[in-house]
Chain A
Amino acid sequence: MAVADFIISLLTFIAIYSLFGIGLNLKFGFTGLIDFGHVAYFMIGAYVTVVLTMPAGAAGYSGIGGFALPELFGVLGPIGSLFGWLLGVLGGMIAAALVSLAVGVPTLRLREDYLAITALGIATILTTVVNDEEWLFNGPFGINTVHAPLRDVFPLSLGSFTLNMAVFGILSLAAFGLTGYWLARAFRRQGRRGKLVLGVLVPLVAVWYFVLPTLSDGMVELTRNTLWLFDPTAGPKGGMDYDRFVLLLSVAALGGGYWLVERTINSPYGRVLRAIREDEDVPRALGKETFQYKLQALMLGSALAGAAGALWAINIGFIAPDQFAATITFYAFTAVIVGGTANNKGVILGTAFFWGIRNGTRFIDVPSQYSIQLAASRLMLIGVVLILILYYRPEGLLGEQDYDIPLPSRDSSGGTDDV
């Protein structure tokens, strides 16, 4: 596997889990709701979307459905089919939100730790039900007839090999440029220490990504890594393969979720959420119906987890109950806490960090008799890093984010408009 392919799969992973983490951050970071059952909504989103979008009577499947929404709208062409899939995702998100409503109504009125305990229990029960009740979603055999939106459009070829290479190449380079610019800006704000980190990190990554593959596999590999959106082996004329599309789709979904949560918290609504996190009695004494707010935050965060689940299904192409173990929730908590609780950028950073270590170390070549030790030491490394961060930077790498409700400027006498 070329390095570019590995990076694409890793980035897809990070984008999907970041969306999952941003949902958790809305609950935990901004509202203070400890939901140890977050993975349940990931599972519900995945299953409901898959069942709504896959064809009926699929071989080897004996559960409810499928309902073939993309096929239904497919008469309108590929766009119709995509719309059908999006409807399926919406269904998955709504289902996740509704289940969280059912969990929230009895628990959110109680003390905050009740949610944590109850949610963990309910998530475990849900996974067990999906696993044991075969009539529901095929039980432990899972579903391998996941509908992949626009699958037959790919590999996407724009015509000639050169045109493909030029268009996707330029897009790839632009993405490199933007990332570089953004990284440089982010690190410059960190002062000398930031420059040092950047100065070490960039050459290391450059050597690993560009130089080493070229040395071992030659110019084709270099081209592949540089023009990463362009896959020369995708069809006779080259083009963009489906994995790259799934990455873009996941990044777009992450962008959407990020925007929505930012919009939600940078508002008077978000002020109430944070007030609930700090001390719920205060907003209550000021006339805010905090129960409604907590319920809505729970549902919105769960819906985002559901969307992440839908993407997970197309990325893996197969879903089964054992993919949704409670550990996934705790991975997300780790990512949120490492990156910075109540910081959406921090969630992405923490997720990248977590999955970078978790999956990135697969590339370390060790004699096979040590591979089990390597797997164990990965988690150990993450654990050590988590402890170090909790000790030296309890607020996480980035700390809580700043808030701002932008208004057309008028006067700013007295206080500030940056809230």
Chain B
Amino acid sequence: MSEQNTPTPTPGVTPTDSPKIGDDGDPILRIEGITKQFGGITALDGVDLTVDPGITGLIGPNGAGKTTLFNCLTGFHKPDDGRVHLYETDITGKEPPAIAQQGMVRTFQIPRELADMTVFENLLLAPMNQHGERLRGAWIRGDQFVEEEQVIRDRAREIAVFFEIDHLLDEPAGSLSGGQRKLLEIARALLTDPDIVLLDEPLAGVNPTLEQKILGRIEALVEDGYSFLLIEHDIDLIMDNCERVVVMHQGAVLTTGAPEAVQSDERVIEAYLGGDDV
């Protein structure tokens, strides 16, 4: 939760209906000089980037460092150098749970559903600061415990309906198809009531119908005030759906801008046609 939001009594449990964007439209993320090396490989080489509210596309050929950037932003990797600010808060080097609690959550490139738990349980896990999530709350169950659990179940059902996976709630998540897993991941991330969601290739391997469905959902959520940073390596899809596009190449930001401007940028064409596989 960022300071810009109206505080809710039990964050994550009570859905916020207020828009998530700061009134003045300040950037959500400020990334300065993020560097990450794996042994001899420089995966990120001083990434500078500002992410504004709304939907931002992140493209770049395979191995450009997009996933590594997500890992550095969300605390799964410690950057070797550079700083990340989420709104005004410096979140560099913090642990993933702390960053998620600050309002930034991510999905994984390969969906990570909790296979032996039901779809419903996967969703119920997500809301933050649940009373019954603490040992004391679980043992001594007051009215608050019951109330919260009911609210959470309602929200989980609501979002399952929104993503059209409500008929699967009782299925083990491991039995879902690839596309359904992607939907489940997004739905689960949203139930944490975040300010910004980092989606790592939510459209890869998804059939075109579902692709449009997911994009439609994301656009509807942007209307509600959520922001997204979305990795996709199909350049056309990004161009049609994002307000701003960031192009990464060989661990650095090549260019940023409106889709049309980026599309005609020669360096982008070069990176895609001249470089690695697309």
Contacts and interface: CB of A to CB of B under 8 A. Distances in A.
Interface of A: 260, 263-264, 267-272, 274-275, 278-279, 281-290, 296, 300, 400, 403, 405, 407-408, 410, 413-419
Contacts of A269: 132-135, 137-138
B161 A414 contact: yes
Contacts of B117: 271, 274-275, 278
Interface residues of B, number: 47
B189 A286 contact: yes
Given A275-B117, A287-B128, A287-B192, A281 B112 contact: yes
Given A407-B146, A415-B170, A416-B170, A290 B120 contact: no
Nearest to B12: A287
Nearest to B194: A287
A416 B138 contact: no
Nearest to A271: B125
A267 B125 contact: no
Contacts of B156: 415
Contacts of A296: 135
B139 A275 contact: no
A284 B97 contact: yes
Given A271-B124, A282-B112, A405-B149, A416 B169 contact: yes
B120 A286 contact: no
A264 B135 contact: yes
B97 A419 contact: no
B246 interface: no
A288 B169 CA distance: 22
B115 interface: yes
Interface stretch (B17-25, B100-108, B232-240, B254-262): B100-108
A414 B160 CA distance: 9
Contacts of B125: 268, 271-272, 275, 282-283, 286, 288
A23 to B, nearest CB: 15
A213 B261 CA distance: 94
27 contacts: A263-B138, A267-B137, A268-B130, A269-B135, A271-B121, A274-B116, A275-B114, A278-B115, A281-B96, A282-B114, A285-B96, A285-B105, A285-B108, A285-B189, A286-B125, A286-B128, A286-B192, A287-B100, A289-B97, A296-B135, A400-B116, A403-B121, A407-B146, A407-B149, A415-B156, A415-B157, A419-B118
Contacts of B100: 284-287
Max count, chain B CB within 10 A of own CB: residue among A269, A283, A416, A418: A269
Contacts of A278: 114-117
Nearest to A268: B132
Interface string B75-110: 010000000000000000001110011000110100
Contacts of B139: 260, 263-264
B167 to A, nearest CB: 9
A229 B158 CA distance: 56
Contacts of A416: 120, 169-170
A263 B130 CA distance: 16
B227 interface: no
Interface of B: 74, 76, 95-97, 100-101, 105-106, 108, 112, 114-118, 120-121, 124-126, 128, 130-135, 137-139, 141, 146, 149-150, 152-153, 156-157, 160-161, 166, 169-170, 188-189, 192
A267 B117 CA distance: 14
A273 to B, nearest CB: 10
A319 to B, nearest CB: 31
A267 B132 contact: yes
Query: Ordered nearest first, which 8 A-B pairs have the shortest CB separation?
Result: A287-B100, A267-B138, A415-B169, A268-B132, A269-B138, A414-B157, A278-B114, A284-B96
A300 B136 CA distance: 13
A419 B96 contact: no
- Of B106, B114, B121, B146, most buried by chain A (CB within 10 Å of CB) is B114
B101 A287 contact: yes
A105 B139 CA distance: 24
Contact of A414 (B74, B76, B169): B169
A398 to B, nearest CB: 15
Contacts of A267: 132, 137-138, 141
A135 B261 CA distance: 80
A410 B152 CA distance: 14
A270 B149 CA distance: 13
A137 to B, nearest CB: 31
B106 A285 contact: yes
Contacts of A281: 76, 96, 108, 112
Nearest to B120: A415
